[in-house]
Amino acid sequence: MNEVFHALASQPRRDMLARLSEGPLTVGQLAAPLEMSLAAAAKHVQVLERAGLIQRDIRGRRHICRLEPGALASAHAWLDFYQRHWRERLDALDGLFRTGQPASTEGTSDHRD
């Protein structure tokens, strides 16, 4: 999963994934709107491929890339746990602001309802 998050940390790679969500593209097609060389795009594609986010098929000199959603689903499941965790805490904070009541009395750290 570290490779997935490493790959997603780059804006050009996120842009490539977004475009691949619409269908397969060649490395050249991925490079064109990003104003980068074919060699630079190929390096980004290799990072995405190692992370399992894309599949690359080689047909002669053409490298056709397709989105592989499985790795994204795993990352989403991992993030979903933390989203629920923080949503609960933010909902509690929202309740505090709406009611004007402190979440706990001074000197205690236990927040029971």
Alpha carbon distances (Å) from 28 to 35, 68, 102: 11, 19, 58
Distance CA 46, CA 44 (A): 5
Residues 36-57: tens digit of each pLDDT: 999 999 999 999 999 999 999 9
Domain extents for the chain? 2-68
Q: pTM to 2 decimals?
A: 0.72
Buried-state track 66-101, b at ≥16 Cβ within 10 A, e below 16: ebbeebbeebeeeeeeeeeeeeeeeeeeeeeeeeee
As its CATH architecture, domain 2-68 has Orthogonal Bundle (1.10)
Residues 55-107: tens digit of each pLDDT: 999 999 999 999 998 888 888 888 888 888 788 777 777 777 888 765 554 44
